[in-house]
């Protein structure tokens, strides 16, 4: 009878250990996903800030100055600045509107601000999850040691 009780207790312990380990793995996977999202947000923020800097540089140039227009990562088009200071901005669904430099700068600044807000929110959630992950890890260690 004592052997049966010991077997049942051992079986319950193994089940608890397996369940806690699955929780640990899921938590670890979620942490990795959060890290990837945070890295992507950092990249988007850096790109938007680079656009803002390019707009500032463009705004400080004079008519006739040679400017480099970024086409894609590391690819530029060399041209001369004209007096036309309007930009074409894709606002979605294939719709393009004309905006002056201040309008584009405000749009980019707003994007940077929104990305920063979302990054802060995601970082707070990441921190909560990291604390929970640590707690699960401690529980797992206790189960293994018992």
Q: What is the pTM for the complete model shown?
A: 0.77
Neighbours of 115 (CB within 10 A): 20
- The answer as to CATH 1.10.287.370 being correct for domain 2-145 is yes
Return per-residue pLDDT of the chain as tens, 146 residues: 678 888 888 889 899 899 999 999 999 999 999 999 999 999 999 999 988 988 888 888 888 888 887 787 789 889 888 877 788 999 899 999 999 999 999 999 999 999 999 999 999 999 999 999 999 999 999 988 87
Neighbours of 108 (CB within 10 A): 20
- The tokens describing 48, both together, are 């938007």
Is the Cβ–Cβ distance between 86 and 102 less than 8 Å?
Answer: no
Q: What is the pLDDT of residue 26?
A: 97
């Amino acid at each position: 009878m004592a052997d049966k009780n010991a077997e049942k207790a051992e079986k319950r312990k193994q089940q608890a250990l397996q369940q806690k380990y699955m929780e640990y793995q899921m938590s670890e996977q979620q942490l990795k996903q959060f890290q990837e999202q945070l890295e992507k947000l950092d990249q988007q923020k850096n790109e938007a800030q680079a656009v803002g800097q390019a707009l500032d540089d463009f705004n400080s140039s004079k008519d006739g100055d040679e400017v480099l227009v970024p086409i894609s990562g590391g690819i530029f088009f060399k041209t001369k600045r004209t007096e036309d200071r309007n930009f074409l901005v894709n606002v979605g669904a294939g719709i393009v509107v004309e905006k002056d430099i201040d309008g584009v700068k405000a749009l980019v600044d707003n994007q940077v601000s929104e990305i920063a807000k979302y990054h802060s929110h995601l970082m707070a959630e990441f921190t909560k999850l990291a604390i929970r992950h640590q707690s699960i890890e401690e529980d797992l260690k206790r189960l293994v040691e018992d």
